[in-house]
Every structure is written in C-alpha cells, then in structure tokens.
Amino acid sequence: MRARWLVLPLVLAALLTAGALGAPFHRDEVPFETVERDHFDAIAVNPDKGPISAAPIDLRVHLLGDGADADLTTAFRWLADHANVRVTASDEGAPLFLTRGDLAATSGRATLGATVSSGIAAEVGDPGVDECVVAHEILHLLGLGHVDDPSNIMYPHCTPGMLDHAKLEPWQVARLQTLQDIQATTPRGVETWVSRG
C-alpha cells in the first residue's frame, strides 16, 4: 500500500513536465498561440479564386522571429520550380514567424510548423527539414491540404533531404493555378499578400 502512494507523486510529476503527446517541454519552447496572438494581426484574410492561370503566384512574406535570418533559398527555389510561386520579403506580407526554439502547436509538441489564414510559424533549428517545413506551410497558406503520399510535399511529415525529391500532383498545381490573390485587412489597412504575376 505504501509503495502505491510513492508512485503517485512520480506519475504526477511526469505529467506536469510533459506535453500533450508525452514529450518534455523545454525552456525555449515557443507556443504557436503566442506567436499567433502577438504577430498575426490580420482581422480578415480573403483568398480570391478564378479561372486557371499559368502566370506565377507572387507571395509576399513578412519574416519575423529569432530565426528571421535563416537561409530559405532552397525552399523558395523549390516553390518557384514546382509550384510556380515566387516568394519575396515585405513588411506588408503574410507573417512568417521563424523560430530557433521549439514550436508547440495547440495539440502539443507534434509539429515543426503551423499555418492559419493569418500567418505561418515554423521551426528553423534542423537544417535537414527546415526548408521542407517552410515550403509545406507556405502551400497551406495558399490553400493546399495534407495528402497521404510520402513523396508529396504536402505529406504531414518532412524528412531530411525531402525537397530533393518532393513533388506536387497535377491536381494540386491546378488548384494553385486558380488562386488569384489573397488580401488581408490589417490595422495598417488592406495588404495584398498574394497576387498573380
């Protein structure tokens, strides 16, 4: 009986130091809810769709966070080559919060990136998967969802070197080609985050 009472405090201590999926929390953890609240200030985000167009998509992103100086050249080149998306930095762009900390989403520490209509957050601590995560999250912002094919960039898990062989299916490209623009109403006024080049 006494042994049972000794086990209970140990179990409680383990629960209090673990995330929703049992992974330990770290001091440098960055909750996605905090990023969203503090940096994603769009009141409304309106994507406009139209007929399929082969013209490039111009996406403006506002790089934020302690990882804002990360080299995303490979991710942006992959998006240009495979999704016809040209990414440029702009203070009037969609918030792209990059952290070298441990990003925690609402479901626990089960993500390296998260996207809502008003912005993106991604970890940039592992050079093997950083750029895959950023490309994947940008495509979420542009309207693509998850797929079950592990070779597709929209598969829920990035692996080291994935951008070397990741693909999009023709139907995904066609869906991107219907996006005309994304306009966001912010405290600074209406900003055009995406336009058809």
Looking at residue 22, its pLDDT comes to 36
DSSP-assigned letter for residue 148: S
Please list the pLDDT of the chain residue by residue as tens digits (197 residues).
Answer: 444 444 433 333 333 333 333 344 455 788 999 999 999 999 999 999 999 999 999 999 999 999 999 999 999 999 999 999 999 999 999 999 999 998 987 665 567 999 999 999 999 988 889 999 999 999 999 999 999 999 999 999 999 999 999 999 999 999 999 999 999 999 999 999 999 97
The domain containing residue 160 runs over which residues? Answer: 2-196
180 touches 48 (CB < 8 A): yes
Query: Between the CA of residue 139 and those of 119, 175, 189, what are the distances in Å?
Result: 12, 11, 25
The CA R_g of the chain, rounded to the nearest whole Å, is 19
141 touches 115 (CB < 8 A): yes
103 vs 124: CA distance, rounded Å: 10
Query: Between the CA of residue 51 and those of 113, 177, 179, what are the distances in Å?
Result: 30, 8, 8
Nearest to 120 by CA among 67, 190, 50: 67
Paired tokens of 14: 């383990």
- Contacts of residue 159, defined as CB under 8 A and 6 or more positions apart, other chains included, come to 128, 129, 132
Please state, as a whole number, how many other Cβ atoms lie within 10 Å of the Cβ of residue 96. 27
Q: Structural domain tally of the chain?
A: 1
Rounded to two decimals, what is the model's pTM? 0.85
Nearest to 126 by CA among 166, 161, 169: 161
Looking at residue 164, its pLDDT comes to 94
Phi-psi region of 65 (alpha: psi -120 to 50; beta: other; left: phi over 0): left
Looking at residue 127, its pLDDT comes to 87
Domain at 108, CATH number: 3.40.390.10
